[in-house]
Structure 1
Amino acid sequence: MTTDYLNQDWDAVIIGTGMGGGTIGRVLATGGWRVLFIEKGPSGHRSERQALHSHVFTPDARALRGFWPTPLRAKIDNRESEFFAPIGAGVGGSSAFYAATLERPERHDMDDHPHAEWPISFDTMQPWYDEAEKMFHVCGAPDPLSAEPMPELLPPPALDPSDDALMGEMRAIGLHPYRLHSAIRYVENCHDCLGSKCPKPCKMDGRSAGVEPALATGNAFVLDDAEVVDLKRDGRTITEITLCRSGVEYRLSPKRVILAGGALGSAHILLKSDIANSSGLVGRNLMFHLNEMFALWPKKKVLGDATSKAISLRDLYHQDATRFGTVQSMGIGAGYGEILHYLRLMLTRSALSRVPLIMDLARIPAAVAVKMLGSAKVLVGLLEDYGYPENRVIFDPARPEQLSIEYVLAPELKARRRAFRKAIRRAFRGHRKMFLSMQPELNFGHPCGTLRFGTEAETSVLDPNCKAHDHDNLWVVDSSFMPTSFGVNPSLTIAANAIRVGHHLLKEARS
């Protein structure tokens, strides 16, 4: 069956089925192209409900659930550790587990950014953001602080009473909250699917909004459980993809290769294959967001859903020429299970991870925290990260299949973090609040920037249409292309860019 797929003449071979790969696959298949998706993980059962857990340790068990099977090896501020990052490996990729937050960046994020240049303008991206919001059925309300034309969003569901009360309190102290932009279609009898695979057609992600509509055209097919081992080139052309499936190696001669394995995975493949790296920038300029999680106690206790994810505000996004980011509902409650989960994640990434029985001992502070937090809402500030060449994906020949990174928290990032925490304290004056992390907490679900695009081959890996400068038949459409991380979730930008590049390819083929 595998050779049947590989012997066919595909217009495009897409490596990865997440937010970028699934989306561009839909665009191309709808445009009449024959598309082959290659996915590292399984297709999975459409009826399964599965959360992305870090406490499943066996590679086979993780792979079966659609999790990335091996731990991320990270050297952060010169301290080495290994942990399971929130990365998916199945149809839909990480987006199958995401919280479905699709927020637009702001004009100054692209047109006037002081730390990196975007080769396309905010106005160029606007229509593609519109298209992505329609494709992903984004609901919500406009940001009252935005000077841009209001996006045509679907109406959100009725607001939870506790969130309604909290938004009223925020407005009373001069803040400007709005309904979070979310890729959720609210269907009857649907339970919360944020952060989990959903068996119902509720959450729009790389699988439900991308791969499945692509397959429905009859022009696209998925080859799952297929690990890309190598890419080979002849001059400016990628001539061969080597992949491994069920222990057997296969080779495919592609017409076009579209890489969409995520900012870590795509850079890893190119480094391993020694492809597209004449600039020496493959894997470099790695960015995340810093999470500033905090508990906020409403002034008036109103019964409601503590795990709802409905509020966003940008009052602190760009304050006094300092770039911070959005503040959003976290979508988790302040219950024992959630606190224990995040406490264990923090311990896994700290020097305490080597202490015997530390994961069991975490139950004690978790229980204490539940008593302290009570009816608090958990919010998160997403602090923008900047790209630095020393922050990078690395390839270790001794561990060829393991994702590895090196990252140093820049002094300016630490200073902005301190200023962001002070700004949060000031913004929520009059409310009881408590930060839930003491050390900087990288958001490993938001990696980006490792194959940035630009106009010059010496300073970027991809051209403005996300084609590799070094090769004529290689494109990248995941978060790797981004020169800056913004202060919002990257998912909408990934999808919008994938639609843009897909339409460019269709137009190029017709000309």
Structure 2
Amino acid sequence: MNNTADIVIIGSGIGGASLAYSLADSGRRIVILERGEHLRDSPEARDDMAIFEKGFYRSTEEWLGTDGSSFLPGNYYYVGGNSKFFGAVMYRYRREDFTPRQHMDGMSPGWPIPYEDLEPWYERAEHIYRVRGDASQDPTEPPHANPYAFPAVPDEPSIAQVRSRLRRVGIHPSSLPLAVDIDEWLRAARTGWDAFPNTGRGKIDAEVGPLTEALRHRNVSLITGANVVRLETDAAGQRVTAAIFLKDGAEQRIEAKTIAVAAGAVQTAALLLRSSSESHPHGLANGSDQVGRNFMNHNTTAMLAIDPFSANASVYQKTIAFNDFYNRDPETGFPLGNVQLLGHITANILKANTPLLPRWLTRLIARNCYGWFLTSEDLPNPESRVTVRDGRIVMHWVRSNMRAHEALIRRTRVIMRRAGFPIVLTRTFGRRTTSHQCGTARLGSDPSSSVVSPDCRSHDIPNLYITDASVLPTSAAVNPSLTIAALAIKAGAAIRQRAM
């Protein structure tokens, strides 16, 4: 292996792959290090019992809580990262998410840049992820310079009826922006895609979209099974010089002029903390003491809306959402969050989440239920943090803004009952649901209170970039994938300009 590169990117998920795509035609030698392997096709890939009940794809890596208890987080380590299993929702943050605003239990600090600065990069990200949507349907949708290139994924008949029911009770349902080629997805098997592994090309995940495009260039290469354990700097601690990784049980080293970390909000923070040295005793890029802090994870709840007199005949289901309470609750005036459909809840998925229920009952419930995913903003808190103890990741999540989330649950329950779903069941998720983890290396203009600049460049180390969910200053209340991609593509443009 040639052990030098111009640019090393750590991680091939949304942030790493989008950055590689942004830089691929620069001519620079780019090496992507990915700790996982390619996700291969197999009968289990579309088997809901294997995925949800048997945990066929579940990682065995355990993290610690600050109480000393260990748990299995919902992380995946494959080429393409967590996006191989994502729900493919590619929302833009709302324009209001970039400005400071008061929530029921605290203040969201806003961003150092306005929405307008990120808008062109959102459009580039939507292009490479081939996002389907209709921006005209959602009153909270921020301005788009151009419409989506592809029409929204169509509602199935059962979902079209749900959309009509919601409209009749005064709600504004809108089509989800989705990185899904529905015909390609259904060609392999008639299942939903939400939390199913993408072993084909039906979901335009980080591998199928930007990574595939990047690897068309001969100057871009991917090393799988490469678990980066630390970063090294020069003697003065002024520049990062190499990534040290384990592959096939042996330690290897690759030097680079620029290194970008995109391992995910928890793993990136852990890597920077493990990379402490005499020059950086508290961790790399941590002059602000903010690395690992401000961890956010969204407040999320699954809701089952059941109509005993109307069967749900959908296959994939996940096409609509509503944001009527996103910016303002009509009763309290505070922002509450987003409500979107989950993928179709099968009896096996329901059994996996409620193991005490007999299977005949899960079949009965699944036949008539519609699953919804409720998301509220988790506010940044420096005491909500990721640390490393004896080489193990320790997570201390200080949950916030739960009163707003509880209000969102109440408002949505009322809406569902008014829309003809008399039975409404809910389950609120905890720390094991880490699909929207963010905030541990926050982006900002002030080096004393942030880790990277608005271009995702480390304030402390000029040739170190971070291009994953770590940098998000706020969690907002929508899926963060598109925002991560847009920031990474924007960072790629900054890296090219600096190296000219």
Distance 2:140 2:288 in 1: 37
Match of 2:279 in 1: none
Give 1:272 deviation, angstroms.
0.9
Render the CA deviation track for 1:45-78: whole Å, top value 9, x for unaligned: 3678637957778xxxx8xx5x544122234xxx
Letter in 1 for 2:338: T
Letter in 2 for 1:329: L
Letter in 2 for 1:491: S
Partners of 2:397 and 2:431 within 8 A in 1 = no
Give 1:93 deviation, angstroms.
0.7
Give 1:90 deviation, angstroms.
1.7
1:294 aligns with 2:306: no
1:451 aligns with 2:428: no
Partners of 1:294 and 1:433 within 8 A in 2 = no
Residue aligned with 1:378, SS: strand
Q: Which segment is superposed worse, 47-56 or 130-139? A: 47-56
Give 1:366 deviation, angstroms.
6.2
1:41 aligns with 2:29: no
Distance 1:407 1:128 in 2: 31
Match of 1:380 in 2: 373
Match of 1:313 in 2: 322
Letter in 2 for 1:175: I
Q: Which segment is superposed worse, 185-194 or 323-332? A: 185-194
Distance 2:266 2:368 in 1: 37
Match of 2:349 in 1: 338
Match of 2:124 in 1: 131
1:20 aligns with 2:15: yes
Partners of 1:306 and 1:377 within 8 A in 2 = no
Letter in 2 for 1:11: D
Partners of 2:194 and 2:342 within 8 A in 1 = no
Partners of 1:292 and 1:435 within 8 A in 2 = no
Letter in 1 for 2:74: P
Distance 2:429 2:489 in 1: 38
Residue aligned with 1:268, SS: helix
Match of 1:347 in 2: none
Over 3 Å counting, the alpha-carbon distance change for 1:506 and 1:71 in structure 2 is same
Match of 1:354 in 2: none
Letter in 2 for 1:88: Y
Give 1:293 deviation, angstroms.
1.3
Give 1:404 deviation, angstroms.
2.2
Partners of 1:292 and 1:383 within 8 A in 2 = no
Match of 1:325 in 2: 337
1:86 aligns with 2:59: no
Q: Which segment is superposed worse, 153-162 or 45-54? A: 45-54
Taking the TM superposition and a 5 Å limit, the aligned residue runs for 1:352-367 are 362-364=355-357
1:99 aligns with 2:87: yes
Partners of 1:49 and 1:197 within 8 A in 2 = no
Give 1:384 deviation, angstroms.
1.1
Give 1:173 deviation, angstroms.
0.5
Residue in structure 1 matching 2:138, options 141, 144, 150: 144
Distance 2:429 2:32 in 1: 40
Distance 1:380 1:194 in 2: 11
How much is the aligned-residue C-alpha RMSD, in angstroms?
2.4
Give 1:186 deviation, angstroms.
3.0
Distance 2:166 2:141 in 1: 21
Match of 2:104 in 1: none
Over 3 Å counting, the alpha-carbon distance change for 1:218 and 1:481 in structure 2 is same
Residue aligned with 2:389, SS: coil
Over 3 Å counting, the alpha-carbon distance change for 1:390 and 1:54 in structure 2 is farther
Q: Which segment is superposed worse, 477-486 or 320-329? A: 320-329
Distance 1:303 1:418 in 2: 27
Over 3 Å counting, the alpha-carbon distance change for 1:196 and 1:271 in structure 2 is same
Partners of 1:446 and 1:490 within 8 A in 2 = yes
Report the number of matched residues. Answer: 471
Residue aligned with 1:170, SS: helix
Distance 1:506 1:74 in 2: 40
Render the CA deviation track for 1:80-129: whole Å, top value 9, x for unaligned: 53232221212101111111111111111002344223111100011111
Give 1:313 deviation, angstroms.
0.8
Letter in 2 for 1:144: D
Render the CA deviation track for 1:366-393: whole Å, top value 9, x for unaligned: 6545545640101111111111111111
Over 3 Å counting, the alpha-carbon distance change for 1:414 and 1:111 in structure 2 is closer
Distance 1:453 1:364 in 2: 45
Residue aligned with 2:477, SS: coil
Over 3 Å counting, the alpha-carbon distance change for 1:106 and 1:442 in structure 2 is farther
Q: Which segment is superposed worse, 429-438 or 483-492? A: 429-438
Residue in structure 2 matching 1:245, options 244, 247, 265: 247
Give 1:318 deviation, angstroms.
1.8
Partners of 1:328 and 1:381 within 8 A in 2 = yes
Partners of 2:111 and 2:444 within 8 A in 1 = yes
Distance 1:394 1:107 in 2: 32
Over 3 Å counting, the alpha-carbon distance change for 1:199 and 1:54 in structure 2 is closer
Match of 2:225 in 1: 225
Distance 1:238 1:381 in 2: 41
Residue aligned with 1:123, SS: helix
Distance 1:205 1:385 in 2: 25
Over 3 Å counting, the alpha-carbon distance change for 1:313 and 1:472 in structure 2 is same
Over 3 Å counting, the alpha-carbon distance change for 1:300 and 1:502 in structure 2 is farther
TM-score of the pair, normalised by structure 1: 0.86
Residue aligned with 1:256, SS: strand
Match of 2:393 in 1: 403
Give 1:306 deviation, angstroms.
5.3
Q: Which runs of 5+ in 2 are unaligned?
A: 102-106, 277-283
Give 1:485 deviation, angstroms.
0.4
Residue in structure 1 matching 2:173, options 159, 173, 177: 177
Over 3 Å counting, the alpha-carbon distance change for 1:202 and 1:180 in structure 2 is same
Over 3 Å counting, the alpha-carbon distance change for 1:366 and 1:414 in structure 2 is farther
Match of 2:424 in 1: 434
Residue in structure 2 matching 1:472, options 456, 462, 474: 462
Q: Which segment is superposed worse, 184-193 or 108-117? A: 184-193
1:499 aligns with 2:489: yes
Residue aligned with 1:338, SS: helix
Q: Which runs of 5+ in 1 are unaligned?
A: 344-361
Q: Which segment is superposed worse, 225-234 or 318-327? A: 318-327
Letter in 1 for 2:164: G
Partners of 1:48 and 1:197 within 8 A in 2 = no
Letter in 2 for 1:269: L
Match of 1:261 in 2: 263
Q: Which segment is superposed worse, 134-143 or 472-481? A: 134-143
Distance 2:24 2:463 in 1: 18
Match of 2:384 in 1: 391
Letter in 2 for 1:384: E
Match of 1:164 in 2: 160
Q: Which segment is superposed worse, 263-272 or 46-55? A: 46-55
Render the CA deviation track for 1:176-228: whole Å, top value 9, x for unaligned: 00111110123352434432333332211111112221111112111111111
Match of 1:212 in 2: 212
Distance 1:107 1:279 in 2: 28
Distance 1:147 1:245 in 2: 44
Distance 2:247 2:141 in 1: 51
Distance 1:254 1:470 in 2: 17
Match of 1:5 in 2: 2
Residue aligned with 2:285, SS: coil
